[in-house]
A and B are shown apart, each in its own frame.
Chain A
Amino acid sequence: MKTWIVFCATVSLIGMATVGQPSAAVAVDATEIVQKSQAVFFEAGQDLKARIKMTLTTRDGQQRLRELTMLRNNYPAGEQKYFLYFHSPADVSGTTFMVYKYPNREDDRWLFIPALNLVQRVAARDSRSSFVGSDFSYEDVSGRDIEADTHRVVRTEALGSRQTVVIESVPTREADYAKKLSWIDQTTFLPLKDEYYDIQGALYKIFTADEIRDVQGWPTATRRTMTNVKTGHKTEVVYETVVYNVGLGDDIFTERALRRPPEKWLR
């Protein structure tokens, strides 16, 4: 039965590959589907520049707004560098954050605190912790190692108008979830929905890709929400502008740039 589903999923995915989407390719098993999905979701293009608006909403409807510019560059062997510049809230404006991301080892992170004129290395051992107080964890923003979970195809099903393959991921390394289900678009490989289950087997967090736009040929989730169903807290992320392949140089991802961020990339 399971083999049959995997076979069907595989066949349908092979079928999709011929449509010519940027990242669609032959996928033979769950791990490969997740790999594809991560590639489209976290690594699209050579680089990326996005102006992001993040809205944190409590159960009561109280809100906190964070506006930031995100710059990202891809490097060989799956390495990535991120540069984040916070525009708002006003009193933290000018705070910058830089991450060197390496597959299968801890990231390097730096933070610049303008009020102290201090660049601080941050050893966040824990990539599962919240990203700037939101419902997204660092992993949700920059991806989790494929090997950190075992993946299996559960079923294929339609989600709205899209055909998806549902993948179950069970962590083999530390994680804040005990199980995750992902609905991955069979055509674009974008995750359309994730459900996170806690150690008691209860659903606690739901990710949804609410708006997907084609940006220079890359399907991009320009609006996404993470909802904590237990606390009622949610975070909405809107990519107000997003451009791929802008030609980011390596000089942006330096301590110097953290202190004096290059103006032209922040506009």
Chain B
Amino acid sequence: MNESAQAVPWLTRLSVERPGWVIAGTLAITLLFLTQFPRVQTDTDPKNMLPVTSTVRVSNDEVERWFALHKDVMVLGIVNDEGIFTQETLERIARITHTILKIPGVVVRDVTSLTTTDNVLAEDGQLVVRPAVAEIPRTPAAMVALKQTLLSNPLFVDRLLSKDGTTTAIYVPLEGGANATVIADRIKEVLAKEEGRERYYLAGDPVARDTFGVQMFYQMAILSPIAGLVMFVVLWWMFRSLTLVLAVMGVAMVSIIWSTGLLIGLGYPIHIMSSMSPIFLMAIATDSIHIFNEFGFRLREVRDKREAVLDTIAAVGGPVLYSDLATAIGFVALVTVAIVPVKIFGLLVGFGTLIILLMSFTLVPALLMLLNEERLLQETRSTDAAPSAWLSHLGEFSVRHPKSIGLAGCVLLVMAGVGLSRIEANNNLVHWFKPESDIRTADRVMNARLGGTATAYLVIQGSTEDVMKTPAMLHDIEGLQRELEKDPRVGKTFSVVDYVKRINRVLHQDDSAYDRIPDSVTEIAQDLFLFGMAAKPSDLDNVVDYPFQKANIFLQLKSWDAGVMADLLRRAEVYLRAHPLTGGATLRPAGIAYFNLVWNDEVLWGMLRSFLAGLVLVLILVIIQLRSLLWGILAFLPLFCTIAVIYGVVGLVGKDFDMPVAVLSTLSLGMAIDFAIHFVNRFRHHYAIEPDLEKALRWTVVRPGRGIVQNAVLFAVAFSVMVFASLTPYITVGVFIIGIMLLSAVLTLVGLPALIMIFHTRLPLSSEEMTR
């Protein structure tokens, strides 16, 4: 006992001597952090992952100012399979448009629908400017004429109207700071009052983004407690002791409250990523299960509670310390990512992990001291036998077939390598919703019928003023548009060229021969001037800037995949190399689809880099802790294999490496190494006492192995709750965590004994090397 007492830190000794004080003190500090909670602020906008000052946001803002564009635009699709050109449907479109205009937060002047957008056309020798649907035709003939007129205007087709005349769209720009969910709900109320055969689809980035934000907190608020409850039940089934269960849960709660309280206290908002921290900390807190597992064994051996606690901490203190440190390092490595919310998330969970570590040496021993010794002895005995038999078979198998296991491992790694080579980094906000969800359905339908719900801009920056009035430049732009339209995922492009061509045609009695760019600068200039006199000035402002030096090509894309934008930029680059722009003009991408591409690169690759950095740091930490390069590498291998296999599967099944998967990698890093650290440390400790390789391995698989299995199962069961979430990122997190935990437990318990058997001649195993 004296020996053990010396081997444990003074804090633990204090906790064993004065458990009441420690528990009271912990509670007091927890309450202190709890007082910060009412000040909580949330930020659900994934855009804010990049700071307002980031290059892409500054650049996008600038482009939006140049061309008077709106940051956030919602799209309402109205579908009538029999065609929208019926009195009833047109009246409905007019009524819905009018009601939408009244919703606060909607930019009244720029709501674009068939009843608000001007059509410029030639009629009876006159140039006519009037809303596309100014009056609803009363006769079938007039209806047919209207349909023909609108479908013959390329400015409308695929943007406001589908080619088959069954679908129209209302574009609803939002004022800065307006909440898209609130506005979407108002629009849905409006739609609910309409009776008829029409179907309605609400899509667009702001809807997806704000809906996700709301859903996310909602899901976290429901799923975290359920996961907690499931853990509670599983823990009780494992230990049959309310105090033990409460201890694990208490550690989790304390770390969640301290870290979140600190975050709120420092004035940071809870972001998408930070909102996941409770469930992560709950998972990490299960590490203390190793203490309880070992305590159960010790108590039966020494039959003295106080001694058992000190012995336990002396035995598992090292592994607990280093495994928690490794976990913390994995998260703190996120600080290297240039993105503030990711840094905060990393620090938040890292801090929480250190709190868990502190609790393992203070609160946990203190709580153990409060246990009823007699009852505990009875309880622990009753749940003892079964898993041990199972584990000893497993240990036997690992020790008997090291070469086969090693070979299987190699095959697994090769297969994982194939998967890894196929992995694609891509973040698609719409895919964060389930396939049958309203948002994804809307997106699918609108993309099938119209030009596309994702918007990007390509800004052509000329070297001189008025260059956008020259035929040469307009031909360049037109050429680029046709080139980009070759990609089937580009549903629509339009630019100043389309307006010039339209005016030119209208001024020539709607003669289709004049549906082209005029040959002289003055003609173009006067066409544009006329357009400015006739139509809404902002229509022109959207595509060309005031000095006519910059032009803006609108792209409507049928997919939110970042890859589409990347492909388009490559296509544009190749095309422009062969067809350089007049006067050395340059191209600059902007818009939400481009933002997603940059976000994708910066956030995902940033997280990937920090993950690799974390891997190296963990390897170094393990080498230092085990004081041996080879031991370090061996302990690192199960983690490495787990990660390779998990991401190999991600690649093989074609799942994108998106934000949730990126976050997971960090967690897997910390968790998967835990098992190996426990395993190797306990094995070496035992081998030093009883230097028989096979026996020591079997013992390790059975005894600390039991803690490992318990930890993995507990973890997996708790996270299985997330499979029932309605947002796909949570489902992904749930499925992958289950996979990571079970796989790393198996790889540790099967792989490590095999590896130790294979390499034992080169491993420093002698007792003098092992003792500290």
Interface residues of chain A, those whose CB is within 8 Å of chain B, are 56, 58-60, 62-64, 86, 89, 91-92, 95, 97, 111, 113-116, 118, 120-126, 129-134, 198-200, 202, 204, 230-231, 233
Query: Are A91 and B469 touching (Cβ within 8 A)?
Result: yes
- Nearest B-chain residue to A60, judged by Cβ: B65
Q: Does B108 contact A (CB under 8 A)?
A: yes
Main secondary structure of the interface of A (DSSP, over half): loop
For A130, give its contact among B103, B106, B536, B546 (CB under 8 Å).
B536
For A58, give its contact among B68, B126, B523 (CB under 8 Å).
B68
Beyond A198-B108, A202-B108, list 4 extra A-B contacts (CB 8 Å). A114-B522, A126-B118, A126-B129, A231-B538
- Nearest A-chain residue to B508, judged by Cβ: A116
Q: Does B626 contact A (CB under 8 A)?
A: no
Query: Are B108 and A199 touching (Cβ within 8 A)?
Result: yes
A63 to B466, CA, bound (A): 13
Q: Min CB distance, A94 to chain B, in Å?
A: 9
Query: Are A230 and B525 touching (Cβ within 8 A)?
Result: no
Chain B 106-124 per-residue mask, 1 if CB under 8 angstroms from chain A, else 0: 1111000000001000010
The 6 closest A-B pairs by CB, nearest first: A91-B525, A133-B532, A62-B546, A115-B523, A133-B537, A123-B126
Q: Does B534 contact A (CB under 8 A)?
A: yes
Query: Are B522 and A91 touching (Cβ within 8 A)?
Result: yes
- Nearest A-chain residue to B525, judged by Cβ: A91
For A124, give its contact among B123, B129, B131, B538 (CB under 8 Å).
B129
Query: Are B118 and A129 touching (Cβ within 8 A)?
Result: yes
Query: Are A125 and B525 touching (Cβ within 8 A)?
Result: no
14 sample A-B contacts, Cβ–Cβ < 8 Å, listed by A number: A91-B522, A91-B526, A92-B525, A95-B529, A115-B526, A116-B526, A129-B536, A130-B536, A132-B533, A133-B533, A134-B537, A200-B104, A202-B108, A231-B109
A132 to B130, CA, bound (A): 16
Q: Min CB distance, B192 to chain A, in Å?
A: 21
Query: Are B129 and A125 touching (Cβ within 8 A)?
Result: yes
Complex interface: chain A residues within 8 A of B520 (CB): 115
Q: Min CB distance, A99 to chain B, in Å?
A: 12
Q: Min CB distance, B656 to chain A, in Å?
A: 38
- Nearest A-chain residue to B108, judged by Cβ: A198
Q: Min CB distance, B298 to chain A, in Å?
A: 72
- Nearest B-chain residue to A59, judged by Cβ: B65
Chain B 683-726 per-residue mask, 1 if CB under 8 angstroms from chain A, else 0: 00000000000000000000000000000000000000000000
A97 to B534, CA, bound (A): 12
Query: Are B507 and A113 touching (Cβ within 8 A)?
Result: yes
Complex interface: chain A residues within 8 A of B478 (CB): none
A122 to B536, CA, bound (A): 15
Query: Are A120 and B507 touching (Cβ within 8 A)?
Result: yes
A129 to B526, CA, bound (A): 19
Query: Are A92 and B108 touching (Cβ within 8 A)?
Result: no
A257 to B150, CA, bound (A): 35
A91 to B469, CA, bound (A): 10
Residues of B in contact with A, size category: 35 or more
Q: Does B127 contact A (CB under 8 A)?
A: yes
Chain B 534-560 per-residue mask, 1 if CB under 8 angstroms from chain A, else 0: 111110110001110000000000000
Complex interface: chain B residues within 8 A of A129 (CB): 118, 129, 534-536
Complex interface: chain A residues within 8 A of B532 (CB): 130, 132-133
Query: Are A111 and B129 touching (Cβ within 8 A)?
Result: no
Which residues B485-516 have CB closer than 8 A to chain A?
507
Complex interface: chain B residues within 8 A of A86 (CB): 529
Query: Are B65 and A122 touching (Cβ within 8 A)?
Result: no
Complex interface: chain B residues within 8 A of A130 (CB): 532-533, 536-537
Query: Are A91 and B130 touching (Cβ within 8 A)?
Result: no
Query: Are B109 and A62 touching (Cβ within 8 A)?
Result: no
Complex interface: chain A residues within 8 A of B106 (CB): 200
Query: Are A122 and B546 touching (Cβ within 8 A)?
Result: no
Query: Are B547 and A62 touching (Cβ within 8 A)?
Result: yes
A89 to B532, CA, bound (A): 13
Q: Min CB distance, B12 to chain A, in Å?
A: 64
A95-B126 CB under 8 A given contacts A133-B533, A199-B101: no
Q: Does B521 contact A (CB under 8 A)?
A: yes
Complex interface: chain B residues within 8 A of A124 (CB): 129, 534
Query: Are B108 and A204 touching (Cβ within 8 A)?
Result: yes
Which residues B237-295 have CB closer than 8 A to chain A?
none
Query: Are A126 and B130 touching (Cβ within 8 A)?
Result: yes
Q: Does B411 contact A (CB under 8 A)?
A: no
Q: Min CB distance, B651 to chain A, in Å?
A: 46
Query: Are A123 and B101 touching (Cβ within 8 A)?
Result: no
Query: Are B102 and A200 touching (Cβ within 8 A)?
Result: yes
A63-B536 CB under 8 A given contacts A113-B530, A116-B523, A125-B130: no
Scoring B103, B530, B535 by chain A CB atoms within 10 A of each residue's CB, the highest score goes to B530
Q: Min CB distance, A151 to chain B, in Å?
A: 23
Q: Does B583 contact A (CB under 8 A)?
A: no
Q: Min CB distance, B529 to chain A, in Å?
A: 4
Query: Are B126 and A121 touching (Cβ within 8 A)?
Result: yes
Complex interface: chain A residues within 8 A of B466 (CB): 91
A86 to B529, CA, bound (A): 11
Q: Does B125 contact A (CB under 8 A)?
A: yes
For A118, give its contact among B68, B126, B507, B540 (CB under 8 Å).
B507
Q: Min CB distance, B136 to chain A, in Å?
A: 15
Q: Min CB distance, A22 to chain B, in Å?
A: 33
Q: Does B134 contact A (CB under 8 A)?
A: yes
Q: Does B187 contact A (CB under 8 A)?
A: no
